[in-house]
Amino acid sequence: MKISTKGRYALRLMLDLAINNTGEYIPIKRIAERQEISEKYLEQIITQISRAGFVRSVRGSQGGYQLANPPEAYTVGMILRLMEGELSPVACLDEPGSCDRADRCVTVDIWRQIKDAVENVVDNITLADLVKSYHEKGNCEYFI
Amino acid sequence: MKISTKGRYALRLMLDLAINNTGEYIPIKRIAERQEISEKYLEQIITQISRAGFVRSVRGSQGGYQLANPPEAYTVGMILRLMEGELSPVACLDEPGSCDRADRCVTVDIWRQIKDAVENVVDNITLADLVKSYHEKGNCEYFI
DNA sequence: AGCTAATCATATCGAAATGATATGATTTAA
DNA sequence: TTAAATCATATCATTTCGATATGATTAGCT
Ligand code: FES
Ligand code: FES
């Protein structure tokens, strides 16, 4: 029941962009420094994020990334799902027909409830909430 | 964010014992047949369960396992935790001091909320609930 | 006494996932 | 032209996962 580092890194990356959301394009290198995450690994991650249209990118010198939308537009759930896929405790919930006896299954209700509970949390927290929390906690450069 | 098959198998195993909770000792072989799970794999799993005192065992011919307590005494959470460890989305919540900046961390609140939400589900469903649901659904021999 | 069915205890294995590097092409401002 | 950046794959080492293999021990039954 763990969230992968990829998911967590993606969240930190997006939060970093949200905190530094000045209109300028921020290179991955800066984020890698601030977050102490491998630059190359972050590149892979932001590639996925970029393909999903969550960020704008400018190539070449002086290039970088910025949020495509205001921080309020991104829930934690959106970001985690991008890296992790559906936030289900079992595959059955997402692949229709993967369990052929779903109508008689006793445990699927549990998995459904877990999924709903998790989604209820992550879909109701936005990057804007995290930015606010960040400033309240004392402007520390680092977070996990 | 997946629950391992070990956790799910443990739940099915315990549910099988709960459904066949007649006072007799049930050999792993029977459960393996009914649940269509490898006998040897189930042995490993029930060894852990047995060491935790959740079941009584009798060795030798005519031996087997039975629940140590009535089905009401077992929550889904107890069983999953036995196989999965703590139901936390990040290790940080369980290993005190693993993150040295926890007081300034912006995301730890999210992980905490997720953990609480999951626990609120699994700690409020008992094997007795599942047995009831099983009988309501039509006595199917199989479930996942 | 001996056979058989069961638990108990480890060791090992293959495949997949994870987390990360490595290499290099392409683009663009200065 | 050069440097700094995104973009695109390939590769790698380690761990985890799910499962099997081997064999010792225990105890009921004939
Ligand atoms: S978990 Fe899929 S039908 Fe039971
Ligand atoms: S997740 Fe542990 S302190 Fe942030």
B64-95 pLDDT tens trace: 999 999 999 999 999 999 999 999 999 999 98
Residue A97: what pLDDT? 72
Q: Is pLDDT of B141 > 60?
A: no
Which pLDDT does position B123 carry in this prediction? Answer: 98
B119: nearest Cα among B143, B94, B140, B136: B94
* Residue A54 contacts strand C, CB under 7 A: no
Domain B5-86+126-136 has CATH 1.25.40.420: no
Closest ligand relative to B3 C-alpha = 1
Q: Residue A49's pLDDT band (boundaries 50, 70, 90)?
A: very high
Res A135 pLDDT > 80: yes
Give the Cα separation of B19 and B30 in Å (integer): 13
Interface check for B136 against chain A (CB to CB < 8 A): the answer is: no
Is the pTM above the cut of 0.85? yes
- Statement: the CB of A58 is under 7 Å from strand C: yes
- In this prediction, residue A144 carries a pLDDT of 42
Instruction: Tell me what the pLDDT averaged over chain B comes to.
Output: 93
In angstroms, the separation between the Cα of residue A15 and the nearest Cα of chain B is 9
pLDDT tier at B21, thresholds 50, 70, 90 = very high
pLDDT at A38 over 60: yes
Question: CA B110 to CA A15: how far, in whole Å?
Answer: 13
Structure token pair of residue B38: 């490898």
Looking at the CA of residue A111, tell me the nearest atom of ligand 1.
1
Buried b (16+ CB within 10 A) or exposed e, A50-83: eeeebbeeeeeeeebbbbbeebeebbbbbbbbbb
Residue B35 CA distance to nucleotide D30 C1' (Å)? 32
**A125, A72 Cβ separation under 8 angstroms:** no
Which pLDDT score, from 0 to 100, does residue A99 have? 75
Q: pLDDT class for A140, splitting at 50, 70, 90?
A: low
Closest CA relative to residue B65, chosen from B36, B85, B45, B38: B45
B1, B34, B74, B137: best to mutate for the A interface, most A CBs within 10 A:
B1
